[in-house]
Structure 1
Amino acid sequence: MNLPLNLRIIAVVSAMLALFQLPSLALAWHLGEPVAPAAWTLVINLTLSLLYLPSRKASFANLQARDGVVAVILGWLVMIVLGALPYYLSGTLRGMDALFESASGFTTTGSTILADIEALPQGLLLWRSTSQWIGGMGILLLAVAILPYLGVGGAQIMKAEMPGFRKDRLTPRIADSARILWGIYVGLTALCALAYWLAGMNALEAVHHAFTTISIGGFSPKNASMGAYNPGIQWCAILFMVLAGVNYLLYFQLLFQREWRSLRDEELQWYGIIILVGSLFCTLEAFASTAANNPHDALLHGLFQAVSLVTNTGFANVDWETWPLYVQIILLTIAITGAMSGSTTGGIKIVRAIVLFKVLFAVINRMLTQERVIAVKINGKRIPSELLDSVMALGFAMTLIVAAATILLTALHLDLATAFSATLATLINVGPGIGLVGPMENFSAIPDPGKLLLIVLMVIGRLEVFTVFILFVPHFWKPDAILR
């Protein structure tokens, strides 16, 4: 274990959280709400940031990939624990519930314990939304700094999952790449907030929803989520959810390199197809139900829910659990797929789903033609066999996790629909499920051991599974271990 690095990670994360705590503290003070919980949280974060001092002279020139993986997991756990303090110190939530809400925020899952969200103080609500925005920033850094060494993300994602398999990362330096990604992220957030405000939201709620839309988190300060707002606002949400689910490298290529051929990217095309097909089924059902009084409402409800689920945002403008079971299954299926790689979405990502299907058909073709080599291509370029292995292993690992977690939750006397959908909702970071954890319900009915399990699933899903699992491989801890 690299103690100086770990101390620095704790210090930097604490300082960052202290900085982001200031707006919610200022809002609470401005509105005359109790400021002690936020103030104490700020003091604790600032105190922990002093841990930077013992590590300030340490040299990190020879850091190993192992150190980076451990640092990322430690950083995420520190965020979750410290992020739970405002909920706990305010008396709003007890310990396990506070950890659950915090984990759901920072992992951009969007599942909630709260039955009456609007009863929370405004300062605490702002912190809740801010946690998702911070989580989205962390995901982008994870994509360029750590996952390359695990074979299924980071530079590997940039090289093998993003358009054309052309680039290892945006720029040669990780810090420069992170700044570019964050710049795009902040720009989209500002545009989203402006659009919400122009469509009729007040300024504070526009900021709330911009944070949770662009991060693909799905938290809302309203009990009815996006269903509390007018159709114009909901159309804005659809637009920015779609934009948030696009590969950020595409934005870089279009805005800075003028590579218009990126619009022909295979993953982008499938992203559009999945949205259209999912929307078609949802719209037809919404039109047939009493929830929509006219074709416009049917289209709005159907398109909104399809986009919300495929991007893993988790917003709701209608209780889609009242729709037929086959539509619910379609929604959960596209949620598992997720949006595009290189975005803040959860799920397995569309490009991996494409790879899995192409491997399936290639194997069938080999059985029929006796070909010995499986050639799988994305955007006309062949995928390396080691990446095929990684993608298939990821799919298998997620299947095992879902099965095991569902069994454990049913052992806690939850019904199968609730246990299965709660597992999926947290592992793929989408938020709502069905049954007791449906789109208009919450996770308060889950027993504490189940909540702890779901917290673990949120972190595993957010860190792309292998980032966590690799810790349990003995060879990972050997001095001569090499991650590619």
Structure 2
Amino acid sequence: MALTGIFRLFAAMLFAVMLALLPPAALALATGAPTLGGYVFAILATAMVSAGAYVSSAGRHNPSGFRGALIVVLLWWVATPVFACIPIMAEGLNFADAYFETVSAMTTTGAWLSKSGAVASAPGALWRAELQWLGGLASLATAAAIFIRPTFIGIDTLLPPFSRGDHNSFLRPLRNAIASFAGVYLIVTLFAFSAIAAAGAGVLDAAILAMTTAASGGFIPHPEGVGAYPPGVILSIFFFTLLGGVNFILIARIVKAQKERLRDIETGAYLLIVIWVGVLFWISAGAGDVVLIAPQLFNAASLVTTNGYIIGEAPPLLAVLVTAIIGAAAVSTAGGFKVLRWLVIMRRANEEVRRLITPSAIFGARRVANELGVWMHFLVFTLTLAGLLLAVSLGGHSFGLSAAAATAALSNAGPLIELAQGDADGYAVFQSPIRWLLLAGMILGRLEAAVALALINRAFWRG
């Protein structure tokens, strides 16, 4: 295993966190926020450990296989939040609570212990949005460089605009993905900020909304939710929410004016799902009133992209949870099962039905060469969802709240529990060890099932 390459990437992760700490630290200084010391300490601690990791990476960087890439991914989701949670601890939370909120932000789940507490201070709200933005970029890079390969998904949709090297190379493609996507991701965020600010949102709110929308994080800085903003802001959020569910490889190629043949089979299916779900929500809200169509289309886009917030009349809880599980494009900041996997499953179901109807017919080669990874993911996703639901229910919570919390964690759509929560404010209603199980669900929602199974396979680590 190439430890030097792993140390180098870990140093880069911490350096990125350190840079992201600067804007909220400056805001805390300007506003006289009592959390300034926490930001300063976090900057110093992150800089020191980053420098140490960089020094440890000196030497030849040998190519690293899947195990090395898995360690890097786990370092991002598990180790980096230890440093990123320091400013949140300065808000008065203990380490466990601050770590929960940090992982929730970095996985773009948006599962805050207290919804009102998350927006109580301007630096804290900005920091959570920045963590979501960084987590969104990490999700895009890991999906395109590691997870969305024929090995795991059965098919390739779009060739990424960077080199993935040979099939045993993982760390270098991960670096290439971050370098290739970061600029385009920033451009999309800046456009979102400009549109939201021009529509009437304040500068800070526009910055937070732009970052969380690009990351599909579902974090709304206004205490009264997204419905409190002017119609122009809501329209801008809807457009960039919809954009956030599109395959980012397609967006990157369009922005970079790359004219390679685009074999995108997801975008059309994704947009059709949003439309159909919006129509179903409209019917459940009372079809016939045209005014209700727009809010329900917004809700459909928000749920399919796992942002998770709702405006207007809330759809039935079961419909909301099923929609969030669907997910958007495979290489997008959204969570959930992802449209590409559903397409693979539907293709297999269609072929099997045809074979049952005409068993003697010759149909040619299978359209999906290797779909084992999709079925593995389906199995692990389903069993994990059932396990989380059972664990939360055994903790004394209602079935509706348990189902909402389990789905929200695994699909990275934290705001979902507001529909089943009643008067409670955030995830503080869940105590340990349920809270830690939900945290593990958030991380698992960002991993490929093969990765999750490798974590508990001793032969994989010894081989």
TM over 0.5: yes
Deviations 1:221-275 (A, max 9, x none): 122221121111111111001111111121234344565974x843211111111
Separation (CA, whole Å) in 2 of partners of 1:119 and 1:8: 34
Q: Which amino acid aligns with 1:471?
A: L
**Residue of structure 2 equivalent to 1:280:** 279
1:49 aligns with 2:50: yes
Shift in Å, 1:64: 2.7
Q: Is the 8 A contact 2:81 2:99 kept in 1?
A: yes
Q: Which amino acid aligns with 2:304?
A: V
Separation (CA, whole Å) in 2 of partners of 1:182 and 1:32: 32
Shift in Å, 1:401: 0.7
User: Which residue among 447, 454, 457 is the counterpart of 1:463?
Assistant: 447
Shift in Å, 1:281: 2.1
Separation (CA, whole Å) in 1 of partners of 2:197 and 2:365: 46
1:309 aligns with 2:303: yes
**Residue of structure 1 equivalent to 2:335:** 346
1:215-364 map, 5 Å:
215-257=215-257, 259=259, 262=262, 265-287=264-286, 295-296=290-291, 298-318=292-312, 320=314, 323=315, 325=316, 328-364=317-353
User: Which residue among 343, 348, 370 is the counterpart of 2:359?
Assistant: 370
The gaps in structure 2 that reach 5 residues or longer are 166-172
**Residue of structure 2 equivalent to 1:101:** 101
**Residue of structure 1 equivalent to 2:157:** 162
Shift in Å, 1:392: 1.3
- Return the TM-score normalized by structure 1: 0.86
> Structure 1 residues 81, 439: CA separation in 2 closer, same or farther (over 3 Å shift)?
farther
Q: Is the 8 A contact 2:308 2:416 kept in 1?
A: no
Q: Is the 8 A contact 2:145 2:164 kept in 1?
A: no
Shift in Å, 1:441: 4.9
**Residue of structure 1 equivalent to 2:368:** 383
Separation (CA, whole Å) in 1 of partners of 2:319 and 2:287: 17
Separation (CA, whole Å) in 2 of partners of 1:316 and 1:90: 28
Separation (CA, whole Å) in 2 of partners of 1:383 and 1:132: 34
> Structure 1 residues 413, 130: CA separation in 2 closer, same or farther (over 3 Å shift)?
same
Q: Which amino acid aligns with 1:269?
A: G
Q: Is the 8 A contact 1:358 1:376 kept in 2?
A: no
Shift in Å, 1:2: 6.0
- Return the TM-score normalized by structure 2: 0.90
Alignment length (residue pairs): 453
The gaps in structure 1 that reach 5 residues or longer are 480-484
Q: Percent identity?
A: 27
**Which segment is superposed worse, 367-376 or 15-24?**
367-376
Separation (CA, whole Å) in 2 of partners of 1:98 and 1:85: 8
> Structure 1 residues 244, 463: CA separation in 2 closer, same or farther (over 3 Å shift)?
same
Separation (CA, whole Å) in 1 of partners of 2:381 and 2:345: 13
Q: Is the 8 A contact 2:161 2:252 kept in 1?
A: no
Q: Is the 8 A contact 2:112 2:118 kept in 1?
A: no
Separation (CA, whole Å) in 2 of partners of 1:259 and 1:439: 52
> Structure 1 residues 256, 74: CA separation in 2 closer, same or farther (over 3 Å shift)?
closer
1:58 aligns with 2:59: yes
> Structure 1 residues 24, 256: CA separation in 2 closer, same or farther (over 3 Å shift)?
closer
**Which segment is superposed worse, 466-475 or 435-444?**
435-444
Q: Is the 8 A contact 2:335 2:413 kept in 1?
A: yes
